[in-house]
Chains A and B, each alone.
Chain A
Amino acid sequence: MDWTIFWVGATFATYIGIAVWARAGSTNDFYVAGHGVHPVINGMATAADWMSAASFLSMAGLIAILGYGGSVYLMGWTGGYVLLALLLAPFLREFGKFTVPDFVGDRYYSDTARLVAVICALFVSFTYIAGQMSGVGIAFSRFLGVDFNTGIFIGMGIVFVYAVLGGMKGVTYTQVAQYVVLIFAYTVPAIFISLMLTGNPIPQLGFISNVKGEDVSMIQKLSDTLTSLGFAEYTTTNKTTFDVFCITAALMFGTAGLPHVIIRFFTVPRPSDARLSAGWALVFIALLYTVAPAVGAFSRLNVINTVNETTYVAPGEDYAAQAAALEAEGVTPSPAWFTRWEITKLVGFEDKNGDGIMQIRGPNAPDGLANEVTINNDIAVLASPEIAQLPDWVVGLMVAGGLAAALSTAAGLLMVISSAVSHDLCRRTFFKGMSDKSELRVARLAAAGAVMGAGFMGIYSAQLAFVAQVVAFAFGLAAASLFPVILLGIFWKRMNREGAIASMLTGLVPTFIYIWHFKLGAGKDAGPEEWFLGVSPEGIGFVVMILSIIVGVVVALATKAPPKDIQDLVEDIRVPGQRRPHGIADAGMAPAE
């Protein structure tokens, strides 16, 4: 516990220090860090921006439970970077403005299009940020003995300092520090667990190696262990192939369409830096994402091996004495980490058959026994240092890592929310004559307001049911409503205002209704047989995206071609270094350089 306080305190002090050093002096600094971020630095910041509390804490455990089914997250949340690098980032950088609604509004010469884009960006970002803030609250209340709401206020205070003072500039450099914290906390325990289970220190290789000292592969052994306890085989899933396809696609296109990811690529100097930066971002993300499935598999095997059929030791009393007494009787006591984590309620034991022994069983257990052990998904990562028997200072680092992941993502989202208000709504739509100086002031105010809004959404996240459906809502809407108009805006000169608005609305409305119906509404308990084409709410974004592209193209062809200024603009952004101002496209705001 002392080490946890030390690491959280030390990392928070670092973030504040960076914030004071990287203050923003202009809107250019505030929104896009003066277009001056080195591509490798931006890659690292993007990785922290991208990897949320869920990626850090929950993903490995989720994969451990889902087995092959967890692959949708691994492919979906990395494959989107290929789309970003090849299809969006360099061209949007060449376009040379501050936000995603800037592009949509100017490319489609329409404030209506801009407003629809603002609504999409705000909804996606608020859904996403509420989860980060409640993650911060949970981390504080569970591990530091602070009240949930107080935890959120502390988190809000930290983000407030660097987002309001430094804008994108402050956010960028704190994200770099946060990446270093989270990747260290994640990979060090993984290396030791891999060494312990497989004898190979590299988790990615341990993942495909044999179990240490045995002639059977780790994955085979895990599958055999699971089936013997009545679980499904590790390398299978109960989802249909088509659904797996759609979910993966929705997550990939959604990743590419998420505003807080896209705006990170506006901070580098040139289009060539934008694509290079996407490559580095994926390298830094892959460092965690290729380790996660290994951590998941290792922990599932390890938890079963060390917990199943052991004799329960209750928390609150002297663990060592009780364990020694049990061993003297010739029975195996439950491991120390289980007892310790039981206090946080992340693991639990209910002695259904009253034998005092902990049985882990799947739904089809051959011996007919009921499962008695519950393990929260976050345990795979949180307890990994203890399972690997690492010193206490590493254990304490895990909470700091989780907080770094949550705060860095929250900060990126705050930039989208505040720029949507101060830039897209105030400067570009309602008060077009606004000076740079007053816009910067409004931007800081908007960032401060967004911090409060996010904090309160975090506090009330338990009551706001949609917040728990981030994966479906945020990615589905980004894929179906934002990705198509950006893509067509770059690759199809003929795409016009009417097509863009029709396409965004087609993406927004059905996706929202479908997810709401099947996740929160009347169809909440419906099975896959009632889903449209058998596609789950997590994958519907992809199906609607196809529809949205078709509607956009048909409407565009049925209406007037875009003005010559716009067509010239599209030609310019395709070729690096060719961007010139073009009449109506740039009348409201001049492009960079």
Chain B
Amino acid sequence: MSHNQSETTPEVGRPEIDGKAYWKEVIRLTLALLAIWFLVSFGAGILFREVLDGVKLGGAPLGFWFAQNGSIYVFVALIFYYCIAMNRIERKYRIEG
């Protein structure tokens, strides 16, 4: 961390934060999660549906299931993972979210 002098500049009132490095990590996380978002909905539910429909989940063709149910579960998981990962990044950069 290039800005570890945060404790040594109390006169500013706010600790100095390495905003650029922080933002880079946020962007990397965001892009990774959006890739999954795209894969489960536009990928599994639309573009590759016919291939996946050859596989059955219980009684449902898999592509069809992703389009009507599966993608929604992944969306929920993605947002909560994002919250956890963002809290971790913010702690690392000493940001009070």
- Show the binding face of A for B, using Cβ within 8 Å: 63, 68, 70-71, 74-75, 78-79, 81-83, 85-87, 204-205, 207-210, 216-220, 235, 241, 244-245, 248-249, 252, 270-272, 275-276, 278-279, 282-283, 286, 289-290, 293, 571, 574-578
Contact = CB atoms under 8 A, between A and B. Distances in A.
Contacts of B90: 272, 576
A577 B80 CA distance: 21
Which residue, A71, A249, A252, A272, has most C-beta atoms of chain B within 10 A? A71
A576 B95 contact: yes
Contacts of B45: 71, 75, 248
Interface of B: 14, 17, 19, 22-23, 26, 30, 33-34, 37, 41-42, 45-47, 49, 53, 56-61, 64-65, 67-69, 71-73, 75-76, 78-80, 82-83, 86-87, 90, 95-97
A245 B19 contact: no
A44 to B, nearest CB: 15
A290 B60 CA distance: 14
Contact of A241 (B47, B60, B71, B76): B47
Contacts of B72: 74-75, 78, 282, 286, 289-290
Is chain A's interface secondary structure helix, strand, loop, or mixed overall?
A: helix
A571 B76 CA distance: 28
* Pairs of residues from A and B, 10 with the lowest C-beta to C-beta distance, nearest first: A217-B59, A208-B58, A272-B97, A71-B67, A279-B79, A576-B97, A293-B68, A208-B60, A577-B96, A85-B79
A571 B42 contact: no
A279 B57 contact: no
A219 B60 contact: yes
A272 B83 contact: yes
Contacts of A63: 68
17 contacts: A71-B46, A74-B69, A75-B72, A78-B72, A82-B37, A82-B75, A83-B37, A85-B82, A217-B58, A217-B60, A245-B42, A272-B87, A275-B86, A282-B72, A575-B19, A577-B96, A578-B14
Contact of A275 (B17, B49, B59, B83): B83
Contact of A86 (B22, B23, B33): B33
A210 B58 CA distance: 8
A575 B60 contact: no
A75 B75 CA distance: 9
A296 to B, nearest CB: 9
Contacts of A576: 90, 95-97
Contact of B79 (A249, A272, A275): A275
Nearest to A244: B46
B76 to A, nearest CB: 5
A185 to B, nearest CB: 20
A75 B43 CA distance: 12
A82 B59 contact: no
Which of A75, A78, A205, A217 has the most B CB atoms < 10 Å from its CB? A75
B87 A207 contact: no
A70 B82 CA distance: 28
A139 B91 CA distance: 51
A81 B79 CA distance: 8
A21 to B, nearest CB: 31
A79 B75 contact: yes
Contacts of A75: 41, 45, 67, 71-72
Nearest to B93: A575
Nearest to A275: B83
Contacts of B37: 79, 82-83
B61 A219 contact: yes
A578 B19 contact: yes
Nearest to A491: B27
A218 B67 contact: no
Interface hub of B17, B79, B86 (most chain A Cβ within 10 A): B79
A209 B59 CA distance: 5
Contacts of A249: 42
A492 B17 CA distance: 20
Given A82-B33, A245-B46, A286-B76, A208 B59 contact: yes
Contact of B68 (A71, A271, A276, A571): A71
Contacts of B49: 68
Nearest to A198: B59
A271 B64 CA distance: 35
B81 to A, nearest CB: 9
Contact of B69 (A70, A290, A578): A290
A78 B42 CA distance: 13
Contacts of B80: 279
A282 B79 contact: yes
Contacts of A244: 46
Contacts of A70: 68
A74 B95 CA distance: 36
A275 B26 CA distance: 13
Contacts of B71: 74-75, 78-79
Given A75-B41, A209-B58, A278-B79, A86 B30 contact: yes
